[in-house]
Amino acid sequence: MRVNTKLLVAQSIGLFLALALCLFAAAGTLTWPVGWLYLVLFFGFFLGINAWLYRHNPGLLQERLSLSRPDQNGWDKALFPLLVVLPFAWLGFISVDAVRFHWSPEPVRLQVAGALVLLCSFYLFFLTFRENSYLSTVVRVQAERGHSEISTGPYHTVRHPMYAGFLLFMTGTPLLLGSWYGALLGWLLCWCWRDEQCWRSAHCKPRCRAMPTTWRG
């Protein structure tokens, strides 16, 4: 499948600008080394995974460029904008806490631990993208792409590895940037998304979970 490279470039630029705005406008300064480190790590992974998909799974990359579909569930169309906006608002809150007001300062060792957790989340995201060719941004059955249930790779032990990756991501991000309150808010958002995912899943049963022994729905 051919990838719409113009749309890919436009979305990439838009994401970079939105991230930079949430980080540095909220912080009120450009002289925030940890903020720049985070931006490089996050956007570097974003570019890397898109480059990998472009070469190995262009169909999935093109699918993920679509932010809405005619066959998308109606309730998902209503929820999707909120799910897009909330992470950016969360990132802005972290920046305000860490730089402007220092509501919940952290020692450097926790920031280092946050960077490691963030890198682990990126690795789990990569494993999920590599295993699941139907990882659309919207809820729909991709009949035209031979949609089927995935039970291999990380899906063998974790029903929703992408959401498990988000749990790591939303722990590592605030710890690296220096906001305890951001971590608490991130965990709350993960819990809400966990419930939303269980509601989304057409095959959601008692074994629905984000981690092997936790969050059983």
In a domain, 124, yes or no: yes
Give the count of alpha carbons within 13 A of 143, CB side only. Answer: 2
Q: Is the per-residue pLDDT at 203 higher than 90?
A: no
Which range marks the domain in which residue 23 is found? 5-141+149-200
Contacts of 126 (CB under 8 A, 6+ apart): 49, 52
| pLDDT score, position 193 | 66
In a domain, 209, yes or no: no
In a domain, 48, yes or no: yes
Give the domain CATH number at 54: 1.20.120
| pLDDT score, position 90 | 96
Task: Report phi then psi at 145, rounded to 5.
Answer: -110, 15
Give the distance, in angstroms, between the CA of residue 150 and the centroid of all CA atoms in the same chain: 20
Q: Is the per-residue pLDDT at 143 higher than 70?
A: no
CB 22 within 8 A of CB 91: yes
| pLDDT score, position 161 | 85
Take residue 201 and report the two structure tokens written for it.
């899943």
In a domain, 215, yes or no: no
Q: Is the per-residue pLDDT at 197 higher than 70?
A: no
In a domain, 105, yes or no: yes
Residue among 4, 32, 6, 2 nearest 19 (CA): 32
How many structural domains does the chain have?
Answer: 1
Give the count of alpha carbons within 13 A of 35, CB side only. Answer: 24
In a domain, 216, yes or no: no
In a domain, 217, yes or no: no
| pLDDT score, position 144 | 52
Give the count of alpha carbons within 13 A of 75, CB side only. Answer: 5
Terminal C-alpha separation, the chain: 37
Chain position carrying tokens 């710890």: 175
Take residue 110 and report the two structure tokens written for it.
């926790």
* Confidence (pTM): 0.83
Q: Is the per-residue pLDDT at 207 higher than 50?
A: no
pLDDT bucket at 130, cuts 50 / 70 / 90? confident
CB 187 within 8 A of CB 170: yes
Longest dimension (CA), the chain: 51
pLDDT bucket at 153, cuts 50 / 70 / 90? low
| pLDDT score, position 102 | 95
| pLDDT score, position 210 | 45
Amino acid (one-letter) located at 174: P
pLDDT digits (tens, 9 = 90+) for 1-53: 689 999 999 999 999 999 999 999 999 999 999 999 999 999 999 999 999 99
